[in-house]
């Protein structure tokens, strides 16, 4: 493939990145000093936090599904980190694997219900989100306690120059995600299922197992996101992951991945994360109320879904 063909094929992704940086330039002009080193570092950390959940969300969406249980898997990940460590850094050695395993198990429950029982993804994941919420509220009596190790706090808020450590971790994980989706047989199976489950079955793909695994990955990434996010707050609170339910979907859709499944690149999801976070910064800097911000987010998501559907329609 020539450079011209590559550019044409990825024009929408490039445009999304251009939009993100154009938004950043605009808010920097409107609010002088906004793009200082400290604020850029916080923006990069926010992009990474959304990015972790968006990595997970990308997998089920590519199969034509969606995971709406991200918020409370996220919260449970943060709570388990605090409960298991009690603020002691040495205990992170086993706390991290336990949090990731918990995310995998919660994702497996979603995946089993969707792939093997045949429950619609939206219904299954919304129901499990409510169940996870009830479990966490029940265990904590509505007031999650525990203490986060100082090392986690330094990791979540520190960085080098205008780039946070979280952002660098996200970039590394993003490269791994891109390799898995675009260079492995597992990634090709995910795309194949998103394009046609019937053809995938006749091709010998274990469709149910692959679909279930995508929700397991999503659950693990949501739990990891919660664990890492816990270092950013001084006190854990219920509903920490609420913003990431639709923002993770929006990032995937804005990045050009079809919500019908089967097409799009994870690099586009990365671009979508930039747009969402920088747009949020713009709305905040312009002193828009929370209500107006929600309306604008809704409009952005609607347009992203519309464009995604039209793109899919053109390729069928």
Q: Residue 55 and residue 78: Cα distance in Å, rounded?
A: 18
Q: What is the DSSP letter of 63?
A: T
What does the pLDDT look like over 222-243, one tens digit per residue? 999 999 998 888 778 888 888 8
The total domain count for the chain is 1
Q: Residue 282 and residue 180: Cα distance in Å, rounded?
A: 33
What does the pLDDT look like over 122-163, one tens digit per residue? 999 999 999 999 999 988 887 777 788 888 888 888 889 889
What are 160's strand-pairing partners?
A: 163
Give the DSSP per-residue string, 172-232: HHHHHHHHHHHHSHHHHHHHHHHH-HHHHHHTT--HHHHHHHHHHHHHHHHHHHHHHHGGG
Is 46 among the domain residues?
A: yes
Residue 213 pLDDT: 97
Is 5 among the domain residues?
A: no
Is 287 among the domain residues?
A: no
Among 28-37, 164-173, 204-213, 291-300, the minimum mean pLDDT is found in 291-300
Closest Cα partner for 246 from 289, 189, 299? Answer: 299
Q: Residue 95 and residue 92: Cα distance in Å, rounded?
A: 5
Give the DSSP per-residue string, 103-121: HHHHHHHHHHIIIII---H
Is 3 among the domain residues?
A: no
Is 259 among the domain residues?
A: no
Of the pLDDT bands very low, low, confident and very high (cuts 50, 70, 90), residue 316 is: very low
Residue 48 pLDDT: 95
Task: Print the domain residue range for 133.
Answer: 36-242
Residue 97: Cβ within 10 Å count? 10
């Amino acid at each position: 493939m020539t450079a011209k063909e590559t550019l044409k094929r990825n024009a929408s992704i490039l445009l999304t990145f251009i939009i993100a940086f154009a938004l950043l330039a605009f808010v920097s002009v409107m609010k002088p000093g906004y793009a200082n080193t400290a604020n850029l570092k916080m923006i990069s950390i926010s992009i990474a936090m959304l990015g972790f959940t968006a990595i997970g969300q990308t997998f089920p969406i590519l199969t034509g599904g969606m995971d709406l249980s991200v918020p409370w898997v996220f919260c449970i990940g943060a709570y388990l980190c605090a409960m298991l460590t009690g603020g002691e850094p040495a205990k992170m050695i086993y706390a991290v694997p336990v949090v990731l395993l918990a995310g995998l198990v919660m994702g497996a429950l979603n995946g089993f219900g969707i792939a093997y029982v045949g429950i619609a993804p939206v219904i299954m994941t919304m129901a499990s989100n409510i169940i996870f919420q009830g479990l966490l509220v029940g265990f904590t009596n509505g007031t999650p306690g525990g203490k986060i190790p100082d090392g986690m706090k330094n990791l979540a808020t520190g960085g080098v120059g205008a780039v946070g450590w979280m952002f660098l971790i996200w970039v590394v994980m993003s490269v791994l995600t891109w390799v898995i989706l675009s260079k492995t047989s597992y990634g090709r199976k995910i795309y194949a299922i998103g394009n046609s489950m019937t053809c995938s079955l006749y091709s010998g793909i274990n469709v149910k197992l692959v679909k279930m695994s995508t929700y397991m990955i999503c659950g693990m990434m949501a739990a990891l996101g919660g664990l890492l996010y816990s270092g950013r707050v001084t006190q854990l609170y219920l509903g920490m992951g609420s913003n990431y339910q639709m923002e993770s979907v929006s990032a995937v859709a804005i990045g050009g991945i079809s919500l019908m499944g089967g097409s799009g690149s994870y690099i586009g999801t990365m671009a979508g994360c930039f747009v969402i976070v920088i747009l949020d910064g713009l709305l905040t800097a312009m002193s828009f109320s929370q209500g107006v911000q929600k309306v604008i987010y809704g409009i952005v998501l609607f347009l992203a879904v519309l464009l995604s559907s039209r793109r899919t329609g053109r390729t069928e």
